[in-house]
């Protein structure tokens, strides 16, 4: 923030934005008294932020107005939330207190502002000595728990914070790069999953696109340009696709509207990454949404009417059975209900069709805010019960006194990003579990004693181990024994928080012995490798194994959760990388608008300065020169370089924002190379393998480390691990291989 006297233009732009907000707020206010509270909040905040500017130079007041605009337009909240959004930075950035807000606006608005201030304080708190300050950790843990408990108490705090984060991301270009990386990592790790779970689709997708635009700018611009071209080329085709659907639904007596949708750049990029496909192979790039008003006197339920529309449109166009998604019968845990199918247009384009009632669409767009409104009016769908069940589950996690701040962050993140599966007991009872859950997770979901005494399971009448991963539709029977008891190795495969907590608690009585055993095991393993068990080594291992305390490291080893099989590699990776040194170039500026952030640090990768800190190339994402990268500076000074899109980097940066630094690639010497993997598939023919290896070794002059290609039924697929100097060389390589006759797809994939 900066301070300078406002001029006439500043007051004009504030007044302009306020008029827009006022028009929106009046539609949400039930009476003039509510609108008067909103006006009073605007004037209070406007006075408090007078002559204060953002980094961009614009009046600071434009930010709370924008947040309030998102609150009313995108989330659909009422006058108290709009007022709290206008006031959300007053306590943090001015001399006013929560008590001042309470005196002027009452308990509820003051409570919302207080919650928002605490969230900001927790996210901006820097842990001294990189997280070793136990008091600070405990304080942060309690604050973080208190904030997230508002999900079940007054979730409006979190909803307003999402609006605040969205506007900060919209203006993130004014932030220094290391601050930007921290905010984007937090956004991907916490706020995007939270928006998804709370059903705020428009906020989620906009945050995702902003994340991609700054993390992978080249990929974002390329995909966006392709989508824009596709819209221009296929606009008429989509119109023609819709015409017979409209005619058939009108004939059937439905009152409806049809909206057109195109996949977002992030959504297309994500599918390309996870499926290893080209842009042209993203089938559901185009979609239409059928939103209808249920026929109340038809005798059919909302669900049955969705199925009837599905029957009508699949009588017009052929559909892809494997892409049918029935979230009407089995809603997502964020309350989302819809029937999705993918139809083949007359011109050969696959189009996704989403079928929703008006209620389903409101909840899909406005999320939990719409869920409340319908619930208050006694209108409940299957998805509403799922939302309530999820909120109850989150509350159960948050009230656990043994979970520290960092564990809590991981647990909530994992719960937020997990999709659900549906399995059945022998009696036909349906159980919802997070995707990836095992038979033992189900045992604990049924009852603690069933889990504790479980020894095996039957899945679809077949005997399996307790570690068997379950899938939707499985019929599962848990086999128990009277003398059965929890085993330490269960912690290696249990997925649900509740099950892991029960097993961990069971072994707590043996914790001291387990910690001592883990310490002696580690010391012996280090001695075998000729390493001293000193502080430097232990700090590296804490970072490498992602633990917050020394005792946690020993305990993890003691119960077998942390394996030491590759200890030598772990130590080597944590102490050095492909290039030996980084040179610190400069420190400048304050990173936070309120002047509290640590100085910005930029490091040049590839410098030979002997006084520079060590760094390592992250093995989780294997960045190469030319990739957009972010640096994570660990407590021992080692800087690990990750790709900006690496989920591991996002996770660390969300937990330790003050570890984020800005690495820049130095022009690499020709003899410096990096290992990458490219995956290929296509039509097999005589000489294909020879042509591929010739292009790699002779034409490009690149060394191969491993070649793994298999052919079956006239098709081949596989991968090549090779060494390259830069992303530029890799891109040329992919282009050369793509030009070979018969190759359908070439892409860079994870090692």
Three-class DSSP category at 667 = coil
Three-class DSSP category at 308 = helix
Whether the CA torsion 476, 479, 480, 484 is positive or negative: it is: negative
Can 92 be counted among the known catalytic residues? yes
Q: Determine which one of 73, 92, 388, 731 is catalytic.
A: 92
- Tokens 């932030």 belong to 175
Can you tell me the distance from the alpha carbon of 708 to that of 721, in angstroms, rounded to the nearest whole number?
A: 9
- Tokens 């139809």 belong to 343
The tokens for 316 are: 């017009």
- Tokens 């997770």 belong to 441
Can 565 be counted among the known catalytic residues? no
The dihedrals phi and psi of 3, each to the nearest 5 degrees, come to: -120, 130
Closest to 85 in 3D by CA, of 101, 190, 100 = 101
The tokens for 742 are: 């018969």
N residues, the chain: 751
Can you tell me the distance from the alpha carbon of 209 to that of 614, in angstroms, rounded to the nearest whole number?
A: 34
The tokens for 5 are: 């006297």
- Tokens 């040179």 belong to 583
CB burial of residue 426 (10 Å; 0-12, 13-18, 19+)? exposed
The dihedrals phi and psi of 52, each to the nearest 5 degrees, come to: -100, 135
Can you tell me the distance from the alpha carbon of 648 to that of 626, in angstroms, rounded to the nearest whole number?
A: 20
CA angle 512, 513, 515 (to 5 degrees): 65
Contacts of 281 (CB under 8 A, 6+ apart): 275, 745
- Tokens 């697929």 belong to 717
- Which residues on neighbouring strands pair with residue 601, listed in sequence order? 587
Cα–Cα distance list, 713 to 400, 683, 685, 710 (Å): 55, 9, 11, 10
Extract the runs of DSSP E, i.e. beta strands, from 502-547: none
- Tokens 């009108």 belong to 250
Q: DSSP state, 72?
A: I
Q: Determine which one of 17, 58, 73, 93 is catalytic.
A: 93
Three-class DSSP category at 614 = coil
The tokens for 256 are: 């409806």
Three-class DSSP category at 530 = coil
Contacts of 520 (CB under 8 A, 6+ apart): none
CB 711 within 8 A of CB 727: no
The dihedrals phi and psi of 518, each to the nearest 5 degrees, come to: -65, -40
- Tokens 């924008």 belong to 66
End-to-end CA distance of the chain: 44
The catalytic site residues sit at: 92-93
């Amino acid at each position: 923030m900066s301070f300078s006297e406002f001029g006439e233009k500043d007051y004009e732009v504030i007044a302009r934005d306020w008029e827009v907000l006022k028009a929106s707020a009046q539609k949400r206010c039930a009476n003039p008294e509510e609108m008067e509270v909103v006006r009073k909040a605007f004037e209070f905040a406007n006075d408090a932020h007078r002559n204060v500017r953002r980094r961009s130079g614009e009046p600071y007041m434009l930010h709370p107005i924008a947040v309030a605009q998102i609150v009313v337009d995108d989330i659909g909240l009422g006058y108290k939330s709009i007022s709290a959004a206008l006031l959300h930075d007053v306590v943090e950035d001015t001399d006013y207190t929560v008590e001042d807000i309470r005196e002027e606006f009452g308990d509820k608005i003051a409570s919302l502002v207080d919650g928002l201030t605490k969230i900001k304080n927790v996210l901006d708190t820097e842990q001294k000595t990189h997280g070793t300050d136990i008091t600070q950790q405990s304080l942060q843990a309690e604050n973080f728990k208190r904030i997230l408990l508002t999900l079940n108490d007054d979730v409006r705090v979190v909803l307003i914070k999402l609006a605040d984060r969205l506007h900060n991301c919209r203006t993130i270009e004014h932030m220094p790069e290391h601050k930007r990386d921290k905010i984007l990592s937090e956004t991907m790790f916490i706020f995007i999953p939270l928006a998804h779970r709370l059903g705020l689709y428009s906020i989620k997708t906009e945050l995702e696109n902003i994340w991609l635009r700054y993390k992978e700018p080249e990929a974002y611009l390329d995909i966006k340009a392709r989508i824009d071209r596709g819209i221009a080329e296929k606009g008429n085709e989509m119109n023609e696709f819709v015409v017979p659907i409209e005619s058939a639904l009108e004939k059937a007596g439905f009152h409806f509207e049809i909206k057109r949708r195109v996949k977002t750049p992030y959504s297309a990029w994500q599918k390309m990454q996870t499926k290893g496909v080209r842009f042209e192979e993203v089938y559901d790039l185009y979609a239409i949404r059928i939103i209808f008003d249920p026929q109340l006197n038809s005798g059919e339920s909302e669900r049955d009417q969705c199925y009837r529309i599905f029957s009508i449109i699949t009588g017009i166009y052929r559909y892809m059975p494997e892409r049918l998604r029935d979230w009407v019968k089995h809603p997502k845990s964020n309350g989302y209900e819809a029937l999705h199918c993918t139809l083949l247009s007359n011109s050969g384009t696959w189009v996704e069709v989403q079928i929703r009632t008006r209620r389903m669409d409101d909840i899909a767009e406005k999320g939990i805010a719409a869920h409340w409104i319908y619930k208050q009016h006694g209108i409940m769908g299957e998805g509403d019960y799922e939302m309530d069940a999820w909120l109850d589950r989150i509350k159960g996690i948050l009230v656990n006194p043994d979970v520290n701040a960092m564990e809590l962050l991981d647990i909530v993140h994992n719960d937020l990003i997990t999709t659900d599966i549906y399995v059945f007991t022998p009696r036909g009872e349906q159980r919802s579990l997070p995707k990836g859950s095992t038979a033992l997770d189900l045992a604990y979901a049924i009852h603690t004693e069933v889990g504790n005494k479980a020894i095996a399971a039957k899945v679809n009448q077949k005997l399996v181990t307790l570690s068997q991963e379950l899938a939707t539709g499985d019929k599962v029977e848990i086999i128990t024994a009277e003398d059965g008891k929890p085993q330490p190795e269960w912690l290696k495969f249990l997925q649900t928080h509740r099950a892991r907590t029960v097993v961990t608690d069971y072994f707590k009585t043996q914790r001291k012995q387990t910690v001592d055993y883990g310490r002696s095991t580690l010391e012996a393993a280090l001695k075998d490798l000729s390493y001293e068990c000193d502080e430097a080594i232990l700090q590296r291992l804490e970072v490498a194994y992602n633990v917050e305390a020394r005792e946690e490291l020993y305990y993890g080893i003691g119960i077998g959760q942390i394996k030491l099989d590759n200890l030598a590699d772990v130590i080597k990776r944590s102490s050095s990388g492909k290039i030996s040194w980084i040179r610190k170039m400069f420190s400048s500026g304050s990173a936070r608008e309120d002047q509290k952030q640590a100085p910005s640090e930029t490091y040049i990768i590839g410098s030979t300065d002997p006084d520079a800190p060590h760094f390592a190339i992250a093995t989780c994402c294997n960045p190469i020169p030319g990739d957009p990268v972010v640096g994570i500076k660990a407590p021992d000074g080692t800087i690990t370089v990750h790709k900006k899109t690496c989920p591991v980097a996002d996770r660390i940066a969300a937990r330790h924002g003050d570890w984020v630094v800005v690495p820049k690639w130095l022009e690499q010497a020709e003899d410096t190379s990096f290992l990458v993997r490219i995956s290929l598939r296509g039509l097999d023919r005589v000489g294909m393998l020879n042509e591929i290896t010739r292009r790699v070794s002779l034409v490009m002059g690149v060394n191969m480390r491993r070649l793994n290609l298999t052919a079956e039924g006239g098709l081949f697929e596989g991968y090549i691990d090779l060494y390259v100097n830069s992303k530029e060389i890799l891109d040329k390589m992919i282009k050369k291989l793509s030009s070979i006759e018969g190759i359908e797809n070439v892409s860079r994939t994870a090692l």
